[in-house]
Structure 1
Amino acid sequence: MPLIELALPAPDGQKLLSDRHAETVTAISDALRTSLDNLSRLQGRQTQYAFEAVVVALGSVRLIKTEDSGLFSFDDAGGELQPPDFRIVLSDGAQPLVEVKNVAPTGTGLEAKVRAKDMASAQAYAQATGGRLLYALFWSRMGIWTLVDPSAFNHVGSQQRLSFVAAFKANEMHLLGDRMLASEPPLTFSLITDRDKEQVVEGLGDGEETRELTIGGVEFLSAGRVITDPDEQKLAWFLIMHGDWPQTEESQFDAQGRLVSLDYVSAPEPPDEDAARQIAEQAFAILCTLSKLYTLRLLEATTTKQGDIRALREEPEPALLAQLVPDDY
């Protein structure tokens, strides 16, 4: 009903609302076509849904609710009010109000920009409703979320601006249960063959042949050590599937030339020798944050391989990330 109310033009004459079905369908269809043809609007909405799904999957807040839906009235004597996207109730009862922004890469670098008057009206709304305003910025080039207070921004002309480095320093995603994951590299998913069942199917000449293989088992390994704990196996699989480390495929053979295993190896690519030395000395490397892991998973489910949007949202799995990494881990 609220959708009908917003889509329909003002009533004309004494025509009953129940008799305006065709008019309603046309109005909603036109509005939908306009939105679906607006790529930036779709990307913005997808980012907003992704943030909601990440918060639900992290499983650390008591409530998250869309704040900017529906109509509201206010006394404008003190200026404009603009509701942010979400109201969140944290475990300690605090209620931050979160405005979600997608920060697309540009030629001028990584910088979030918000109109100063929009930030002022959102802050006024937060003050009027007893909440604290925060900005959830999705840096799409890296797939990273930062949650920052408006005080972190710099006022430049008619805009409030924030660099990625400054946002990362001021990041408060930990309030929502976000954590950074690290592991000793590499992480390996190994398909182990049953060599007794290996058969030559066809000889191709020049020593080449086609063989039929049977998978006898699978293993997960961290730095060459087999992972036996079921919770760690589940976590390793999720990290291999959705983590930042690039993956290579390696084949292991025995002395008779039979395939022992097919290994999918995930390992970091240090940018320089100093970074590689640091990883070796500390015996671990950063994979990524929990929030990034779930965002990548969500984007895989809602976009094509070419990056085109095929859906705006996928129902989040409550506390999935909290279950992957228990509090006492």
Structure 2
Amino acid sequence: MALRRGRKGDLGLEVMSLIELALPTPDGQRLLSDRHTETATAISDALRSSLDNVSRLRGWQTQYAFEAVVVALGAIRLIKTEDSGLFYFDDGGGELQPPDFRIVLNDGTHLLVEVKNVAPTGSDREAKVRAKDMASTQAYAQATGGRLLYALFWSRMGMWTLVDPSAFSIAGSQRRLSFVDAIKVNEMYLLGDGMLAIEPPLTFSVITDRDRERVVERLPDGEETWAFTIGGIELLSAGRTITDPDEKKLAWFLMLHGDWPQTEEPQFDEQGRLARLDYISAPEAPDEDAARQIEEQGFAFFGTLSRLYTLRFLEATTTEEGDIRALREEPEPALLAQLVPDDYWERPEHVLRIWRFRQYPAGIAPSGTPSGAGSATTSMPVPGPGD
């Protein structure tokens, strides 16, 4: 079975719920159908206000990005927007505030997830939530039978963490959590997230067709401008040509949406003619020790699956200047799971050697049972390529 979209939505129907907000009270004896201009004006004014509010747009884009990541990871049974529509509640126990999403895991566990964008400003790099908002959202989770978690998008690093409210520290009327502390208790593994590592570098080669080269301009000083035709392309991993279709698909995804620096290196034959153009993606080692470590261990981290897909999502919905051109892009269900299928490591003779690491909070083993003493985030690698 696979994830697929449920109700498609119909603008003609969905707009009906906005009428209650645009026209909250009856107007004497006038029919609702006669208040079209008034309704359209109210909705238009509200829309203009939201479109002019960059912070609000960023917040919604982040919320849709999280939804897309969860769908692309494909490891859950259901995800649904929770904070839409009216609701009524007994206020004897205090305020209730719905979070952004309800997620049902494959084992039937219900998660209620509030999404927050941690803007890349300031030096503290802390997520901040008002204490009263956290309390009312926790009350909603208790009333509806779900576990509350916060999905924090650290936009400076382009990374997601999924954390329990108990991880936040008390700071007056706020609850705060640093990036370092969020990483230690990150539970994105619940949604199928993992970190990929491969042997560097990844190379995309454009091979020239020697028989179709031609001079298009010859200057008086003897300098010539040549035009060449592409005769073929190759994908290489650590210098080895990738031929398997699944490995090619994964390599393309990593090159297109990863953030390893890329360099262009022309290769010439003995006569000085262009033979190929190599576009090489390789990790940027901060010092000689880091470079030596990568060489000794045989792999370098490419980043989490959630981060790679978020980069793809932001590329699709944001201009090169950073302006928002769309709030969402329809996600491809289980795309990330299909990139690295579970039987990947059972196949013989891989050219594209992959390591996948899954991160668990301290004290949580892969089976969900306590793993023993420890105070640091744990990951579960194996000695060779695999999970």
Instruction: Flag the 1:169–1:204 CA change in 2: closer, same or farther, 3 A.
Output: farther
Deviations 1:118-142 (A, max 9, x none): 1111111111111000000001011
**Farther off after superposition, 78-87 or 10-19:** 10-19
Pairing partner for 1:235 from 250, 253, 271: 250
Hey, what's the Cα distance between the residues in 2 that align with 1:203 and 1:237?
Answer: 37
> Which residue of structure 2 lines up, in the alignment, with residue 64 of structure 1?
79
Hey, what's the Cα distance between the residues in 2 that align with 1:205 and 1:129?
Answer: 81
Letter in 1 for 2:192: G
Deviations 1:36-84 (A, max 9, x none): 1111000000000010011111111111000000010111111111100
Pairing partner for 1:202 from 191, 200, 217: 217
> Which residue of structure 1 lines up, in the alignment, with residue 233 of structure 2?
218
Pairing partner for 2:300 from 285, 289, 301: 285
Q: Secondary structure at the match of 2:140?
A: helix
Calculate the TM-score normalised by the size of structure 2.
0.83
> Which residue of structure 2 lines up, in the alignment, with residue 312 of structure 1?
327
Displacement of 1:265 in angstroms is: 0.5
How many corresponding residue pairs? 329
Matched, 1:83 2:98: yes
Matched, 1:299 2:348: no
> Which residue of structure 1 lines up, in the alignment, with residue 61 of structure 2?
46
Instruction: Flag the 1:205–1:162 CA change in 2: closer, same or farther, 3 A.
Output: farther
Deviations 1:217-240 (A, max 9, x none): 111111111111110111001100
Hey, what's the Cα distance between the residues in 1 that align with 2:258 and 2:274?
Answer: 27
Aligned pairs for 1:118-197 within 5 A: 118-197=133-212
Hey, what's the Cα distance between the residues in 1 that align with 2:223 and 2:167?
Answer: 63
Displacement of 1:107 in angstroms is: 2.0
Instruction: Flag the 1:206–1:176 CA change in 2: closer, same or farther, 3 A.
Output: farther
Hey, what's the Cα distance between the residues in 2 that align with 1:208 and 1:109?
Answer: 56
Hey, what's the Cα distance between the residues in 2 that align with 1:104 and 1:86?
Answer: 21
**Farther off after superposition, 108-117 or 126-135:** 108-117
Q: Secondary structure at the match of 2:99?
A: coil
Matched, 1:34 2:49: yes
Displacement of 1:294 in angstroms is: 1.0
Pairing partner for 1:247 from 262, 266, 269: 262
Hey, what's the Cα distance between the residues in 2 that align with 1:24 and 1:59?
Answer: 40
Hey, what's the Cα distance between the residues in 2 that align with 1:272 and 1:146?
Answer: 28
> Which residue of structure 1 lines up, in the alignment, with residue 37 of structure 2?
22
Hey, what's the Cα distance between the residues in 1 that align with 2:59 and 2:198?
Answer: 33
Displacement of 1:204 in angstroms is: 2.8
Displacement of 1:16 in angstroms is: 1.2
Displacement of 1:305 in angstroms is: 0.5
Hey, what's the Cα distance between the residues in 2 that align with 1:290 and 1:204?
Answer: 51
Hey, what's the Cα distance between the residues in 2 that align with 1:273 and 1:164?
Answer: 27
Deviations 1:199-248 (A, max 9, x none): 22211354531111111111111111111111011100110011020111
Q: Secondary structure at the match of 1:108?
A: coil
Hey, what's the Cα distance between the residues in 2 that align with 1:266 and 1:118?
Answer: 44
Displacement of 1:109 in angstroms is: 2.4
Matched, 1:269 2:269: no
Hey, what's the Cα distance between the residues in 2 that align with 1:207 and 1:181?
Answer: 50
Hey, what's the Cα distance between the residues in 1 that align with 2:222 and 2:297?
Answer: 45
Letter in 1 for 2:186: N
Letter in 1 for 2:97: Q
Matched, 1:12 2:27: yes
Instruction: Flag the 1:285–1:205 CA change in 2: closer, same or farther, 3 A.
Output: farther
Instruction: Flag the 1:14–1:284 CA change in 2: closer, same or farther, 3 A.
Output: same
Hey, what's the Cα distance between the residues in 2 that align with 1:62 and 1:136?
Answer: 18
Hey, what's the Cα distance between the residues in 2 that align with 1:154 and 1:203?
Answer: 70
Instruction: Flag the 1:205–1:324 CA change in 2: closer, same or farther, 3 A.
Output: farther
Displacement of 1:271 in angstroms is: 1.6
Identity of aligned residues (%): 81
Displacement of 1:181 in angstroms is: 0.8
Hey, what's the Cα distance between the residues in 2 that align with 1:264 and 1:295?
Answer: 23
Displacement of 1:319 in angstroms is: 1.1
Gaps of 5+ in 2: 1-15, 345-387
CA RMSD of aligned residues (A): 1.0
**Farther off after superposition, 267-276 or 306-315:** 267-276
Q: Secondary structure at the match of 2:219?
A: strand
Gaps of 5+ in 1: none
**Farther off after superposition, 26-35 or 267-276:** 267-276
Letter in 2 for 1:11: P
Letter in 1 for 2:320: K
Hey, what's the Cα distance between the residues in 1 that align with 2:305 and 2:146?
Answer: 26
Pairing partner for 2:274 from 256, 259, 278: 259
